[in-house]
C-alpha cells in the first residue's frame, strides 16, 4: 500500500493514500468538526463543517471528500475555515429548534455538541422555524423532521448501507425535506432496520419509546438486539435465525449451543423471554423464536463438535448436587475446563424439573435423554439415586469444589383448613409421581390452586389421568396470570375452566374426604412485601365441588439447615456471585433464585462455572465459537414480503386427541414453516454493525490518551 506524507496543523503525518484529509486528521488525534460525514457512508460534503485551509489553494477545501496527497500542508484552525464553520452552524440553527432541553436527544445530540465546539458568531439572521409536525406512521420510529438539518445521513444509510431507499429528499413548498419515498411506508419499502435512527445526528428520527430498553448499564449491542438481551443466556438469536433462513440448520443449532448445552430441550420448553422482547411485536407480532430454535436443534448434525474446546485435565474434582438444567450445564462446562465432575442426583434419572416437573407431552423424554447422553459422553459422571444430605460434608470428602443445584422440588402448602386431607396434593409431588410412573390417584373433579405454568401442567396432567372436570383458580386476573398465553389458550380448549381473581378460603370435606374448595372473589390485587394484598368482594363466595385438590402455588428447595448452607426463606443464600456460606461451595438455579426457568438456570450455572474455574486456578473462560463465522449482509434490499409475512404458528394436535394421553402435542415447525418464520426477522443486529457516532470529546480524549 502506497503511503503519502502530509502536514496537518504542523504535525507530520504518514498515511495510506486512500485516506481523505478528514480521516488522516481524525486518525492522528486532530479533530475537524463534521456532521454530514459518517465513517460508514460515502462522503457528502454538504455540511461545510469539515472545511480546512490547504496551503497554496484559494479558499477552503472540503476535508471529507479530498484525498490526501504528498506534500499537502493543511491548517484545520485557519481563520476563514473557522468562520465558514461558524456560519454553517449558525444557519443550521435558524431552522432547528434552539431550545435543547426539551429534546429527547438532549445530551446525545451531535448538532448541539458541534455548536458547542464551533461556537456562534451571533449574527442577526432570521428565525425560520419549521412547523412542529410529528409523524408517527412508522410503528417503530418517530419522525420529528422539524429538527432535521438535512445532513442526509439517513437517506444515504437507507440506500447505501441497506439498498432499500425508503427515504429521499424532496422539495416541499420550496423547502428541502427528508420524506419517505412513496405514498405509504409500504410503498416506500421500509424494512424497519433502524439504520436511519442510528445515523441521525439530531433528534429528528428516533426509536419510539418502548421499542428498546432505556438502560444505560446495557451495552450498545444488548440494547439494540432485544431478543439476545431478553435471553438470560444471551444466545445470539439473530445469528441463528439467519442461519435458519439460509437453510444452514446445523450452524443454527451450534449457535444456540454456544450458550446452552441442551438446545433442543429449550426449543420445546423455554419460556422464550426473547420473543417477549422481539422488536417485531410492535409491528405484527414477535417472531416464533422458540419454535425456530426447536427446529434447528432437531437438525443438529454434531458438526459443532469439531469446534468445541476441551481443556487438559486439571486434576481437580468437583461434585455437583442435582442433575437439573443448572447441574447438567455446570457439569458439562466444568468437565470441558478439565475438571473431574461427578453429579449426584437424588431421583432415579437425571433431568431435574425437565423430567420430574414438566410433563412429557411438553417435552418428549427421548429428546431429554439424548441431550443428557451428549453431556455424559464427554465424561461427566452422573450418579443417580444418591441423596446427598449435606453439601458441607460432601466438600469434606475430598472435592475441591461443590456446586449445589438442587432446584425446588418441594411444593408450597397454603395454610388452609383441610390442607392435609387425603387427595390434597402438592404440585411437585403430583407431577413427580406421574413421571415416576406411580401417578397419585385423581378423582372426577379436580381443582388446581394457582395460575402459573406449573398449575397448567397439573391441570392438564389431571385431565390426562382421567379427571372429568378440572378447574384452575388463582388470585390473578386473566391478563396478569404468570402462565404463558398460549398455554392458557390450550388449557381452555381442553375444557379446563380457569377461575380468575379468587382467594382461597377453605378446602371443604365430609367424613375426612375432600368435597370442594371454597373461594371468594377479589379485586385490587397487589403484591406487597408481606405477600398479596386485595379487597374481598362481598357475597362472591362459592364452592367448587372437588374430590382432588392440587396446590400449585410455588415451590421451594427440598433442603433444611442440615444441608450445611445458610438459607433464607428456604432458599440457599449466595453472595459475591454464586458463593454460598461455605468456602468452595457454590450454588445456582432455582434453589437460589426460587422457581424461574430452565434458561435462567443455565445462564446462572454458566456464570457459576466461571467462578468455580477461577477458584480452582483456571481463567474462567467458557466462551466458544461452535458455529461457523457468519457474514451478515447489511444490504438487505427492498423486500416487499417482509411486512406481509405474519407470525407462523406451529402445528398443534387438536384437543380431542391430545387430552387423553401424554404424547407430544406441539409438533413445532417443519422446514418450510421455519424458513418462512426466519424470513420475518428484522435483523436488529445489523444496526450494531454501523459505527457508533463519535463526539468531539471522544476524539479529544483519544488525543489525550496518545499523549
Partner 1 sequence: MKNLLVVSCVSDDIKAPLSMYLMKNYLSEVVAGVEKYASELDADIMYLLPEGEKVEGLNGDVRYTSACSPTLTNPYSVAQVLGGNIPRPMIQDEYVAVYEDKAVSVVTPEAAYGIKNGFNDKFVAVNVGEKTEIKKATVGQIVGEVVALEGTKAVLLGGLKGTFMAPAEAAELKLEATEKFSSITVYDSSECMVDACVQLMNQAYNASCGKCVLCREGTSQFRQIVTEMTTGKAKSGDLDLIKEVSELISIGAYCPFGQNMTKPLTSAIALFPDEFDDHIKRKTCKCGKCYKAAELYYIDPDECQGCGDCIDACPEDAIEGKDGFIHIIDQDLCEQCGKCVSACDEGCIKTATKLPKLPKKKTKVGKW
The 151-190 contact track toward partner 1, x by CB under 8 A, reads: -x---------------xxxx--xxx--------------
When binding is defined by CB under 8 A, the residue of 8, 111, 149, 454 that contacts partner 1 is 149
Q: How far, CA to CA in Å, does 516 sit from each of 286, 339, 362?
A: 41, 54, 29
Minimum CB separation of residue 178 from partner 1 in Å reads: 10
Minimum CB separation of residue 627 from partner 1 in Å reads: 36
Give, for 508, the enclosing helix (H) or strand (E).
strand 502-510
Q: Does 124 bind partner 1 (CB under 8 A)?
A: yes
Sign of the torsion angle spanned by Cα atoms 121, 123, 125, 128: positive
Q: Does 66 bind partner 1 (CB under 8 A)?
A: yes
For 351, the 3-state DSSP assignment is coil
Q: Does 65 bind partner 1 (CB under 8 A)?
A: yes
Give, for 275, the enclosing helix (H) or strand (E).
helix 273-277
Backbone phi and psi for residue 419, each to the nearest 5 degrees, phi listed first: -75, -10
Minimum CB separation of residue 42 from partner 1 in Å reads: 8
Query: With CB under 8 A as the contact rule, which of the stretches 62-70, 282-290, 655-663, 695-703 interacts with partner 1?
Result: 62-70
Q: Does 129 bind partner 1 (CB under 8 A)?
A: no
Q: Does 364 bind partner 1 (CB under 8 A)?
A: no
Task: Decide whether 123 or 413 has the Cβ nearer to partner 1.
Answer: 123
When binding is defined by CB under 8 A, the residue of 77, 94, 389, 536 that contacts partner 1 is 94
Q: Does 80 bind partner 1 (CB under 8 A)?
A: yes
Minimum CB separation of residue 622 from partner 1 in Å reads: 49
Q: Does 95 bind partner 1 (CB under 8 A)?
A: yes
Query: With CB under 8 A as the contact rule, which of the stretches 76-84, 237-245, 269-277, 496-504 interacts with partner 1?
Result: 76-84
Minimum CB separation of residue 83 from partner 1 in Å reads: 6
- Identify residues 39-58 at the interface with partner 1 (CB under 8 A): 43-48, 51
Query: With CB under 8 A as the contact rule, which of the stretches 121-129, 213-221, 234-242, 468-476 interacts with partner 1?
Result: 121-129
Give the whole-angstrom CA distance, residue 197 versus residue 210: 15
Q: Does 84 bind partner 1 (CB under 8 A)?
A: yes
# of chain residues touching partner 1 (CB under 8 A): 37
Task: Decide whether 95 or 303 has the Cβ nearer to partner 1.
Answer: 95
Query: With CB under 8 A as the contact rule, which of the stretches 84-92, 184-192, 426-434, 640-648 interacts with partner 1?
Result: 84-92
Task: Decide whether 88 or 445 has the Cβ nearer to partner 1.
Answer: 88
DSSP string, 412-459: -----BTTTSTTEEEHHHHHHHHHTT-PPP--SEEEEE--SHHHHHHH
When binding is defined by CB under 8 A, the residue of 24, 52, 60, 225 that contacts partner 1 is 60
Per the CB < 8 A criterion, the answer to whether 387 and 410 are in contact is no
Collect contacts of 614-620 with beta carbons under 8 A, ≥24 apart: 615/401, 615/584, 615/586, 616/314, 616/316, 616/318, 616/339, 616/400, 616/401, 617/314, 617/316, 618/311, 618/314, 618/337, 618/338
Give the whole-angstrom CA distance, residue 596 versus residue 583: 26
Q: Does 537 bind partner 1 (CB under 8 A)?
A: no
Q: Does 123 bind partner 1 (CB under 8 A)?
A: yes
Task: Decide whether 168 or 317 has the Cβ nearer to partner 1.
Answer: 168
Q: Does 62 bind partner 1 (CB under 8 A)?
A: yes
Per the CB < 8 A criterion, the answer to whether 400 and 584 are in contact is yes
Find the angle CA(533)-CA(537)-CA(540) to the nearest 5 degrees.
130
DSSP string, 630-677: ----S-----TTTTTPPPPPPEE--HHHHTTS-S--EEE--HHHHHHH
For 251, the 3-state DSSP assignment is helix
C-alpha cell at 540: 362472591
Give the whole-angstrom CA distance, residue 504 versus residue 474: 8
Backbone phi and psi for residue 615, each to the nearest 5 degrees, phi listed first: -60, -35
Contact residues for partner 1, defined by CB under 8 A: 43-48, 51, 59-60, 62, 65-67, 80, 83-84, 87-88, 91-92, 94-95, 123-126, 128, 149-150, 152, 168-171, 174-176
Amino acid at each position: 500500500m502506497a503511503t503519502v506524507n502530509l502536514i496537518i496543523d504542523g504535525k507530520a503525518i504518514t498515511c495510506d493514500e486512500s485516506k481523505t484529509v478528514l480521516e488522516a486528521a481524525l486518525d492522528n488525534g486532530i479533530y475537524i468538526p463534521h456532521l454530514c460525514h459518517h465513517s460508514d457512508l460515502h462522503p457528502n460534503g454538504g455540511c461545510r463543517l469539515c472545511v480546512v485551509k490547504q496551503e497554496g489553494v484559494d479558499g477552503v477545501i472540503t476535508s471529507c471528500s479530498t484525498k490526501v496527497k504528498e506534500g499537502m500542508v493543511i491548517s484545520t484552525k485557519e481563520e476563514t475555515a473557522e468562520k465558514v464553520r461558524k456560519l454553517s452552524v449558525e444557519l443550521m440553527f435558524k431552522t432547528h429548534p434552539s431550545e435543547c432541553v426539551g429534546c429527547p436527544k438532549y445530551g446525545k445530540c451531535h448538532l448541539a455538541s458541534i455548536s458547542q465546539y464551533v461556537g456562534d458568531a451571533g449574527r442577526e439572521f432570521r428565525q425560520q422555524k419549521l412547523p412542529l409536525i410529528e409523524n408517527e406512521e412508522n410503528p417503530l420510529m418517530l419522525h420529528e423532521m422539524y429538527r432535521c438539518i438535512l445532513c442526509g445521513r439517513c437517506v444515504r444509510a437507507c440506500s447505501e448501507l441497506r439498498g432499500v431507499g425508503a427515504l429521499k429528499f424532496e422539495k416541499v413548498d420550496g423547502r428541502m425535506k427528508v420524506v419517505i419515498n412513496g405514498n405509504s411506508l409500504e410503498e416506500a419499502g421500509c424494512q424497519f432496520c433502524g439504520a436511519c435512527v442510528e445515523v441521525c445526528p439530531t433528534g429528528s428520527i428516533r426509536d419510539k419509546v418502548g421499542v428498546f430498553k432505556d438502560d444505560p448499564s446495557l451495552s450498545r449491542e444488548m440494547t439494540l438486539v432485544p431478543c439476545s438481551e431478553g435471553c438470560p443466556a444471551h444466545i445470539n438469536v439473530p445469528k441463528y435465525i439467519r442461519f435458519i433462513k439460509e437453510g444452514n440448520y446445523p450452524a443454527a443449532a451450534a449457535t444456540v449451543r454456544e450458550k446452552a448445552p441442551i438446545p433442543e430441550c429449550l426449543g420445546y420448553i423455554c419460556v422464550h423471554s426473547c420473543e417477549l422482547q422481539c422488536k417485531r411485536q410492535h409491528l405484527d407480532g414477535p417472531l416464533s423464536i422458540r419454535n425456530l430454535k426447536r427446529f434447528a436443534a432437531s437438525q443438529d448434525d454434531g458438526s459443532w463438535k469439531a469446534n468445541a474446546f476441551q481443556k487438559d485435565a486439571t486434576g481437580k474434582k468437583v461434585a455437583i448436587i442435582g442433575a437439573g438444567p443448572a447441574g447438567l450445564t455446570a457439569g458439562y462446562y466444568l468437565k470441558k475446563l478439565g475438571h473431574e465432575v461427578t453429579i449426584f442426583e437424588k431421583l432415579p434419572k437425571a433431568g431435574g424439573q425437565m423430567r420430574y416437573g414438566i410433563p412429557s407431552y411438553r417435552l418428549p423424554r427421548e429428546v431429554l435423554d439424548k441431550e443428557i447422553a451428549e453431556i455424559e459422553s464427554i465424561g461427566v459422571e452422573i450418579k443417580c439415586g444418591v441423596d446427598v444430605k449435606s453439601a458441607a460434608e460432601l466438600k469434606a470428602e475430598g472435592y475441591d469444589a461443590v456446586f449445589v443445584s438442587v432446584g425446588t422440588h418441594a411444593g408450597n402448602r397454603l395454610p388452609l383448613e383441610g390442607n392435609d386431607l387425603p387427595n390434597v396434593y402438592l404440585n411437585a409431588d403430583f407431577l413427580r409421581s406421574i413421571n415416576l410412573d406411580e401417578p397419585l390417584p385423581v378423582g372426577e373433579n379436580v381443582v388446581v390452586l394457582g395460575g402459573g405454568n406449573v398449575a397448567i401442567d397439573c391441570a392438564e396432567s389431571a385431565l390426562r389421568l382421567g379427571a372429568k372436570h378440572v378447574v384452575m383458580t388463582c388470585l390473578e386476573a386473566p391478563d396478569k396470570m404468570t402462565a404463558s398465553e398460549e398455554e392458557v389458550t390450550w388449557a381452555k380448549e381442553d375444557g379446563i375452566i380457569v377461575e380468575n381473581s379468587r382467594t382461597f378460603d377453605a378446602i371443604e370435606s365430609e367424613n375426612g374426604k375432600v368435597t370442594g374448595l371454597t373461594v371468594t372473589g377479589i379485586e385490587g390485587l397487589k403484591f406487597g412485601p408481606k405477600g398479596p394484598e386485595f379487597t374481598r368482594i362481598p357475597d362472591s363466595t362459592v364452592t367448587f365441588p372437588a374430590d382432588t385438590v392440587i396446590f400449585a402455588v410455588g415451590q421451594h428447595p427440598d433442603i433444611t439447615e442440615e444441608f450445611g448452607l445458610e438459607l433464607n426463606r428456604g432458599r440457599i443464600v449466595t453472595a459475591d456471585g454464586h458463593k454460598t456460606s461455605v468456602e468452595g461451595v457454590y450454588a445456582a438455579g432455582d434453589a437460589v433464585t426460587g422457581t424461574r426457568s430452565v434458561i435462567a438456570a443455565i445462564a446462572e450455572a454458566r456464570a457459576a462455572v466461571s467462578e468455580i474455574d477461577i477458584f480452582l486456578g483456571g481463567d474462567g473462560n467458557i466462551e466458544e465459537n461452535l458455529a461457523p463465522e457468519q457474514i451478515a449482509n447489511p444490504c438487505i434490499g427492498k423486500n416487499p414480503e417482509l411486512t406481509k409475512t405474519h407470525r407462523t404458528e406451529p402445528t398443534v394436535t387438536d384437543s380431542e386427541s391430545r387430552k387423553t394421553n401424554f404424547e407430544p402435542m406441539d409438533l413445532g415447525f417443519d422446514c418450510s414453516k421455519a424458513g418462512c418464520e426466519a424470513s420475518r426477522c428484522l435483523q436488529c443486529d445489523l444496526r450494531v454493525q454501523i459505527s457508533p457516532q463519535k463526539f468531539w470529546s471522544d476524539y479529544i480524549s483519544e488525543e489525550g490518551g496518545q499523549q
